[in-house]
Amino acid sequence: MCFFISLAPATFWLVLGYFVLFSSTKAEGRVATFGRFLAIWIFCIASFIPLMGAYITLSGLCPLADLMQKLAG
* Domain range annotation of the chain: 2-72
Mean pLDDT of 29-58: 96
Band of the pLDDT at 22, cuts 50, 70, 90? very high
In the chain, the amino acid numbered 55 is Y
Structure pTM?
0.83
Q: Is the pLDDT of residue 56 over 90?
A: yes
User: Among candidates 58, 24, 56, 53, which has minimal Cα distance to 38?
Assistant: 24
pLDDT of residue 68: 82
pLDDT score for 1: 85
